[in-house]
Each structure stands twice: as C-alpha cells, then as structure tokens.
C-alpha cells in the first residue's frame, strides 16, 4: 500500500549554535490531517526544530520537504505560501492593533498570493488593515473569533489583553492565514485547565473537520498525549522515543527524562 505524500517531512536535521548541538539527526513525518506531538524537557530542541521547519533557523545538515518539495533553503514567506503557519513561544503581537485587526492582516497575507492581489492592496495600505474586506473575509474572521472565544476582546488593542488571551490571539492569527499545516509552540502556556480543554477541542476540529495538520510543542504532556496521533520525544537534541501516545507514556526512557528534568 502506498502511503500518501507527507504534508511535511524533515530528514536528519542537525542544528548547532556555536559549539552547542541543539538538534541531532531529527527526522519527522507529518501526514495530512494529523496531529504530531513534539515533547521534551527544557532546552531539548523543540523550538529549534520549529525554527528549521518554518525557515527561521538554518540547519547544519538535513532537509525539509513540504508536499515532497525540498524547501530547506526557502524563506519563511515561501513556506507560508505553501500553507505553513506557526506560532511563537513568546508572544509576537502588535500592541496598537486590535485582536480583530491581527486576524485581518493574517487573513490577507495568507491570500495575497497573486500579483493582482499585491497590486490591489499595496498602494492603498501597506499592512492591509484599512483596505476593503475581501469577499468572505468578515465571516471567516468572525468564525475564528468565535471558535477561540475572542468575541468580547475583538476590538481591544493587543496591549490591553492578558497573557492567556494573547496566546489565543496568536493561535487565531495563525489560523486566519488559512494554513494546511500549523506549528504551535506551547499553545497552552498561560491558559487555565478549562481553556486548555477548549483549545484541545479546537485542534481536534481543525484536524477532523478542516483536514489541517498540526505539530504541537507542549510542556503540557497530558494535552499532547490526549491529542496526538504520533509523538516524538526529544532530550538534549536527540530523539529518545517515538510512537503512539500510549507507547510514549509507558516508555521508561521518557519517564526518566522528565523525572530528571524536575529533580
């Protein structure tokens, strides 16, 4: 039986920062409409991995493919055009823009794929907030706002919202770009238990109803094990386990890595 071409594939990625080996020989396969978990203690190399997948960090060795196309040397923008979106571990919001405006910018950036679109928007407004909405834009954005429970803060500037809400805005913004592949770096940090459960449900719906694939980096191991189809565990840049959530949960090497990290 032929496997479908993975949406994303990383082969043998190695990253060094000066003399530090941050990631060693990491391979990762993300099938269409799947959730892949990437967990590991602090400093394991998870965010570095996202940096390489999204084009912000250049690997010393290895390759990244989207739909089987080698994008190892492609810019973050080129990868975004192929359907990849990511969130950052530290919030990267614009203080002055409202929650809704963040989504408008991302929505338009996600669709500004032709020269025609570029000509249509650029002379009017460089970041695109003021231009007239594209057909379907208002509804699509309202839907994301509702899904993430952001209606009451939709018109509040980012500077005035709390950390947990900012985290949701970051995720909403990534969704507004209409990605096929979403890389989420610690999406539940700053959220309480109820918000985390609601967010898990949003991720399930993205996979099951919208056929979006997600790669989930999390300190909340229970969240990942409850969501992911497949989990990779990193420690000091090395893959120490990989498999189903159950297999990973019961893996003694994984338990030792986490216990080691907390003592």
Toward ligand ATP, which CB reaches closer, 34 or 48? 48
Cβ partners under 8 Å of residue 134, min gap 6? 107, 108, 111
Closest to Mg ion by CB, 47 vs 165, is: 47
Applying CB under 6 A, the span of 44-52, 91-99, 116-124, 145-153 interacting with ligand ATP comes to 44-52
Q: Which of residues 88-127 bind Mg ion (CB under 5 A)?
A: 89
**Segment interacting with ligand ATP (CB under 6 A) among 16-24, 124-132, 142-150, 253-261:** 16-24
Q: Contact between 89 and ligand ATP (CB under 6 A)?
A: yes
We find the least distance from the C-beta atom of residue 38 to ligand ATP, in angstroms, to be: 9
Range in contact with Mg ion (rule: CB under 5 A) among 40-48, 201-209, 222-230, 255-263: 40-48
CA 173, distance to chain mean position in Å, is 11
Nearest approach, Cβ of residue 157 and ligand ATP (Å): 28
> Taking CB under 5 A as the rule, does residue 47 contact Mg ion?
yes
CB of 186 vs ligand ATP, minimal distance in Å: 7
CB proximity list for 225: less than 8 A, separation 6 or greater: 37, 231, 245, 248, 249
- Return the residue of 12, 20, 211, 226 that touches ligand ATP, per CB under 6 A: 20
- Contact residues for ligand ATP (CB under 6 A)? 17, 20, 22, 40, 42-48, 89
């Amino acid at each position: 039986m032929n496997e479908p071409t993975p949406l994303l594939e990383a082969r043998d990625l190695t990253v060094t920062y000066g003399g530090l080996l941050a990631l060693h020989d990491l391979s990762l396969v993300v099938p269409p409409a799947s959730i892949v978990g990437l967990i590991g203690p602090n400093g394991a190399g998870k965010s570095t991995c996202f940096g390489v997948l999204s084009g912000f960090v250049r690997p010393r060795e290895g390759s990244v493919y989207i739909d089987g196309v080698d994008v190892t040397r492609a810019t973050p923008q080129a990868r975004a055009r192929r359907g990849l979106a990511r969130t950052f571990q530290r919030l990267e919001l614009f203080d002055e823009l409202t929650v809704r405006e963040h989504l408008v910018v991302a929505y338009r950036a996600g669709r500004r794929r032709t020269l025609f679109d570029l000509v249509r928007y650029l002379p009017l407004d460089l970041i695109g907030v003021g231009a007239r909405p594209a057909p379907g834009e208002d509804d699509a954005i309202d839907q994301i706002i509702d899904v993430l429970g952001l209606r009451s803060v939709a018109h509040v500037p980012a500077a005035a919202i709390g950390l947990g809400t900012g985290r949701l805005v970051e995720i909403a913004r990534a969704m507004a770009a209409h990605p096929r592949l979403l890389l989420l770096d610690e999406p539940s940090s700053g959220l309480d238990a109820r918000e985390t459960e609601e967010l898990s449900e949003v991720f399930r719906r993205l996979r099951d109803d919208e056929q979006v694939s997600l790669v989930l980096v999390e300190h909340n191991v229970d969240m990942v094990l409850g969501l992911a189809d497949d989990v990779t565990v990193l420690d000091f840049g090395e893959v120490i386990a990989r498999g189903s959530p159950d297999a990973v949960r019961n893996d003694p090497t994984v338990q030792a890595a986490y216990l080691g990290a907390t003592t």
